[in-house]
């Protein structure tokens, strides 16, 4: 006889487009390999209630209360009593769905819950025992199951900075004790997510306007750029890559790099260029992604002839001075991403934690290198210095002996002085090594911090062992094709022109929305906020907001208004004393938000129009030359 509860739950998963979970539940091999040391899930009816529990080793662990679950859940919800639930919940464990149902019942339409259920066995048992179909077909619920990869990058697409302010992190009853390793990973990745979004927002606050100017100056170079994917195809797989950073230890072994020319792929971070060129070492490529990177790093005219990796937000002055092959990476510009996707392509995304060296290492992985030799990657204040002597910052000769510091394991043994910022980069490298065992890192810095997981040897020894084959990389770069075909390039230019009319549409919509918000505020003061007219206006403004958010060129306005938006949303999730005050606060926030967008769009339109036309002129001139 068929289990009607199970069938109903499976149908709900399919309705919500989660055939992947259904396939996982039907795969006996996957289930056999999961929860290897765990358990048998079971249940028992006590006082007309089905109580879920599991057996792990010799212990029986309840996943439900023996008493009034509703009271338990009310206490659970009271942890968040000051939160207006248009934020999101990150939850460890689905259990029998009782907390999920409570949360979904309490939150408004804008709320959401993202759940990681680590046990396929428990989840399958729940589907056989409890009717949770109403939860599984709910679009506000996002479910990850079993060994699905849960990391910052997976979670990132479900959150914005505004969500972080009211984010709730909770775990299902007794789950952290059943799955301590999974809990630690989920919690760690959630914290990384929060830190990353906060850091990104801070960068936008500081550099948003520079991003705007750089993007609109640099897009013609993107249209004319070359393809990193085709470079990957053409690069030989039997040579190592050498990543040159600008740490103090670069002074020790920089001259040895001459022996690697023509036998390895040498990529330099922007701040190490000056030191390399002083030694007459021309790297095969350099990378610069900082929107405000000082042009002093690029003064040597030889830099203009070295292939470059950059992004649209890279310092436009640097790109203007550069005359060689340019390769672009994704900087999460939603407008440009939308256009490129519509043309059937995409830019590669580099991983990293804020360091250009992290980004360069990620690039080398994308390009298929299996051996990466690190030079100048101190990640510490070697000899109380921040950079190699020949670099721009090294020439400042900063004395950091009195600065606050932390200590980390040293390359040459013992402990060395470092910083929390360096530690962030160091942790990223070590995580990358652990997760990509097919890529071999050789740390040939000969100073600074130990990078755990990397092989450690002198640069001279690394070059003798690894640099055995000759390669003409100049020829490789010449043969790399353009990122866009001629037809795609023209279509890109046509589509970027649409940003002008889209900005005009944003102005028009936001003006109408602000007028409707004023009407709603008047109705609240007149106690008419339960009327059909008020509901109709509310629905209308909600649609206005959705339309504005769907316009990809809103990105350029966002670049200009981050500080104002931060101030506006600082207390967005705090409740007021009564319904009227709370509603008035919410409507006022909505009005103020759209006023900021309206005013910024009006201000930006002439400049945006001018810069797009100038960029298109630059592109057309390049076609004729």
State the pLDDT at residue 555.
86
Exposed, middle or buried, 623 (CB in 10 Å: 0-12/13-18/19+)?
exposed
**Range 263-296 burial, b when 16+ CB lie within 10 A, else e:** bbbbbbbbbbbbbbbeeebbbbbbbbbbbebeee
576 — pLDDT class (breaks 50, 70, 90): very low
Q: 265 and 390: one domain?
A: yes
- Residue 198 in any domain: the answer is no
- Residue 437 in any domain: the answer is yes
Could you tell me the two tokens for 328? 């672009």
- Residue 348 in any domain: the answer is yes
Q: 93 and 242: one domain?
A: no
Residue 26 CA to residue 575 CA, distance in Å, equals 45
Quick check: 71 pLDDT over 50? no
Q: 370 and 417: one domain?
A: yes
Q: Once rounded to an integer, what is the mean pLDDT over residues 231-250?
A: 94
**Residue 118 bridge partners (DSSP):** none
Evaluate whether 116 touches 155 at the Cβ level (below 8 Å): no
- Residue 149 in any domain: the answer is yes
- Residue 183 in any domain: the answer is no
Q: Once rounded to an integer, what is the mean pLDDT over residues 195-206?
A: 53
Closest-CA residue to 610 (of 532, 476, 497):
497
Q: 499 and 571: one domain?
A: yes
Collapsing DSSP to helix, strand or coil, 361 comes out as: helix
Evaluate whether 100 touches 135 at the Cβ level (below 8 Å): yes
Q: Kindly report the average pLDDT of the chain as a whole number.
A: 83
Q: 51 and 122: one domain?
A: yes
Residue 220 CA to residue 613 CA, distance in Å, equals 11
Collapsing DSSP to helix, strand or coil, 371 comes out as: strand
52 — pLDDT class (breaks 50, 70, 90): confident
State the pLDDT at residue 67.
47
Task: Give residue-wise pLDDT tens across range 437-460.
Answer: 999 999 999 999 999 999 999 999
**Residue 242 bridge partners (DSSP):** 266, 373
State the pLDDT at residue 625.
64
Q: 36 and 68: one domain?
A: yes
Q: Once rounded to an integer, what is the mean pLDDT over residues 587-612?
A: 90
Q: Once rounded to an integer, what is the mean pLDDT over residues 275-284?
A: 96
Q: What are the residues whose beta carbons fall under 8 Å from the beta carbon of 453, sequence distance 6 or more?
A: 430, 433, 434, 441
Closest-CA residue to 281 (of 307, 302, 312, 252):
302
End-to-end CA distance of the chain: 76
Sign of CA dihedral 329, 331, 333, 334: positive
The reply to whether the predicted model has a pTM over 0.85 is no
Q: 351 and 451: one domain?
A: yes
Q: Once rounded to an integer, what is the mean pLDDT over residues 405-425?
A: 90
- Note the residue count of the chain: 625
User: Which of 86-95, 195-204, 601-610 has the weakest average pLDDT?
Assistant: 195-204
User: Which of 147-156, 182-191, 470-479 has the weakest average pLDDT?
Assistant: 147-156
Q: 357 and 240: one domain?
A: yes
Collapsing DSSP to helix, strand or coil, 112 comes out as: strand
Residue 130 CA to residue 482 CA, distance in Å, equals 56
Q: Once rounded to an integer, what is the mean pLDDT over residues 524-534?
A: 88
Residue 522 CA to residue 359 CA, distance in Å, equals 52
User: Which of 149-153, 208-212, 237-241 has the weakest average pLDDT?
Assistant: 149-153
- The secondary element (H helix, E strand) that includes residue 29 is helix 28-33
Exposed, middle or buried, 590 (CB in 10 Å: 0-12/13-18/19+)?
buried
DSSP 483: S
Q: 431 and 506: one domain?
A: no
Q: What are the residues whose beta carbons fall under 8 Å from the beta carbon of 238, sequence distance 6 or more?
A: 469
Evaluate whether 388 touches 376 at the Cβ level (below 8 Å): yes
Q: 358 and 266: one domain?
A: yes
- Residue 197 in any domain: the answer is no
State the pLDDT at residue 210.
78
Collapsing DSSP to helix, strand or coil, 88 comes out as: strand
More confident residue, 169 or 296: 296
Evaluate whether 114 touches 150 at the Cβ level (below 8 Å): no
- Residue 194 in any domain: the answer is no
Evaluate whether 197 touches 90 at the Cβ level (below 8 Å): no
Quick check: 300 pLDDT over 90? yes
In this prediction, what percent of the chain has a pLDDT beyond 70?
A: 80
Q: 268 and 400: one domain?
A: yes
Q: What are the residues whose beta carbons fall under 8 Å from the beta carbon of 575, sequence distance 6 or more?
A: 82, 83, 84, 582
More confident residue, 587 or 481: 481
Evaluate whether 41 touches 121 at the Cβ level (below 8 Å): yes
Could you tell me the two tokens for 468? 């055995």
396 — pLDDT class (breaks 50, 70, 90): low
Of 457, 479, 501, which marks where a domain is finished? 479
Could you tell me the two tokens for 143? 């479910």
SS3 for 427-444, per residue?
HHHHHHHHHCCCCEEEEC
In this prediction, what percent of the chain has a pLDDT beyond 90?
A: 44
* CATH (domain of 110): 3.40.50
SS3 for 491-526, per residue?
HHHHHHHHHHHHHHHHHHHHHHHHHHHHHHHHHHHC
Collapsing DSSP to helix, strand or coil, 540 comes out as: helix
Domain of residue 105, residue span? 4-178
Evaluate whether 248 touches 275 at the Cβ level (below 8 Å): no
| Number of domains within the chain | 3
| 560 alpha-carbon distance from chain centroid | 20
List, as one string, the DSSP characters of 35-58. Answer: TTT-EEEEEEEETTEEEEEEEETT
- Residue 406 in any domain: the answer is yes
Of 427, 454, 479, which marks where a domain is finished? 479
Task: Give residue-wise pLDDT tens across range 536-566.
Answer: 988 898 888 889 988 989 888 887 776 666 5
Q: Can you give the C-alpha Rg of the chain in angstroms?
A: 28
**Residue 442 bridge partners (DSSP):** 373, 455
Q: 64 and 128: one domain?
A: yes
User: Which of 236-245, 346-355, 426-435, 611-620 has the weakest average pLDDT?
Assistant: 346-355
State the pLDDT at residue 18.
87
573 — pLDDT class (breaks 50, 70, 90): very low
Task: Give residue-wise pLDDT tens across range 334-377.
Answer: 899 899 999 999 999 888 767 899 999 999 999 999 999 999 99
Closest-CA residue to 509 (of 569, 598, 440, 443):
598
Quick check: 530 pLDDT over 50? yes
State the pLDDT at residue 529.
82
DSSP 394: G
461 — pLDDT class (breaks 50, 70, 90): very high
């Amino acid at each position: 006889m068929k289990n009607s509860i199970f069938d109903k739950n499976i149908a709900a998963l399919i309705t919500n487009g989660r055939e992947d979970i259904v396939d996982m539940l039907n795969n006996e091999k996957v289930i056999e390999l999961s929860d290897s040391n765990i358990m048998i899930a079971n249940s028992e009816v006590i006082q007309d209630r089905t109580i879920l529990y599991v057996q792990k080793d010799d212990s029986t662990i309840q996943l439900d209360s023996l008493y009034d679950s509703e009271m338990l859940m009310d206490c659970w919800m009271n942890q968040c009593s000051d939160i207006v639930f248009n934020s999101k919940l990150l939850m460890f464990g689905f259990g029998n769905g009782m907390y999920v149902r409570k949360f979904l019942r309490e939150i408004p339409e804008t709320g959401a819950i993202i759940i990681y259920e680590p046990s396929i066995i428990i989840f399958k048992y729940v589907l056989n025992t409890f009717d949770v179909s109403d939860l599984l077909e709910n679009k506000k619920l996002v479910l990850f199951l079993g060994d699905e990869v849960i990391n910052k990058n997976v979670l990132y697409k479900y959150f914005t900075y505004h969500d972080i302010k009211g984010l709730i992190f909770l775990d299902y009853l007794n789950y952290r004790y059943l799955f301590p390793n999974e809990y630690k990973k989920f919690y760690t990745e959630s914290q990384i997510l929060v830190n990353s979004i906060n850091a990104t927002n801070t960068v936008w606050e500081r550099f948003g306007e520079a991003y705007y100017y750089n993007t609109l100056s640099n897009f013609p170079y993107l249209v004319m750029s070359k393809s990193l994917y085709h470079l990957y195809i053409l690069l030989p797989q039997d040579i190592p890559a050498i990543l040159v950073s600008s740490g103090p230890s670069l002074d020790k072994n920089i001259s040895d790099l001459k022996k690697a020319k023509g036998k390895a792929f040498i990529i330099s971070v922007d701040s190490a260029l000056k030191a390399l060129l002083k030694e007459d070492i021309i790297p095969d490529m350099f990378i610069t992604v900082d929107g405000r990177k000082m042009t002093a790093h690029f003064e040597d005219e030889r830099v203009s002839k070295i292939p470059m990796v950059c992004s649209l937000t890279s310092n436009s002055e640097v790109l203007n001075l550069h005359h060689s092959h340019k390769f672009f990476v994704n900087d999460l510009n939603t407008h440009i991403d939308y256009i490129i996707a519509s043309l059937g392509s995409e830019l590669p995304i580099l991983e990293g934690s804020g360091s250009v060296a992290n980004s360069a290492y990620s690039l080398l992985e994308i390009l298929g290198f299996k051996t990466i030799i690190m030079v100048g990657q101190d990640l510490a204040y070697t000899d109380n210095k921040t950079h190699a002597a020949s670099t721009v910052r090294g020439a400042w000769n900063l004395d950091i002996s009195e600065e606050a510091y932390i200590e980390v394991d040293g390359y040459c043994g013992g402990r060395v002085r470092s910083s929390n910022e360096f530690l962030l980069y160091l942790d990223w490298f070590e995580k990358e090594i652990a997760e990509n065992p097919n890529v071999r890192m050789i740390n040939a810095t000969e100073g600074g911090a130990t990078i755990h997981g990397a092989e450690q040897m002198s640069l001279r020894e690394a070059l003798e062992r690894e640099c055995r084959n000759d390669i003409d990389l100049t020829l490789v770069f010449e043969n790399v094709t353009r990122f866009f075909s001629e037809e795609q390039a023209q279509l890109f230019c046509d589509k970027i022109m649409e940003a002008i009319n889209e900005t005009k549409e944003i102005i028009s919509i936001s003006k109408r929305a602000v007028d409707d918000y004023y009407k709603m505020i008047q109705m609240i003061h007149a106690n008419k906020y339960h009327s059909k007219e008020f509901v109709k206006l509310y629905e209308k403004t909600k649609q206005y907001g959705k339309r504005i958010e769907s316009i990809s060129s809103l990105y350029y306005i966002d670049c200009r208004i981050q500080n104002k938006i931060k101030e506006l949303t600082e207390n967005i999730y705090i409740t007021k004393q009564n319904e009227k005050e709370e509603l008035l606060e919410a409507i006022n926030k909505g009005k103020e938000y759209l006023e900021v967008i309206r005013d910024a769009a009006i201000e930006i339109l002439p400049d945006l129009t001018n810069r797009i036309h100038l960029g298109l002129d630059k592109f057309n001139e390049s076609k004729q030359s």
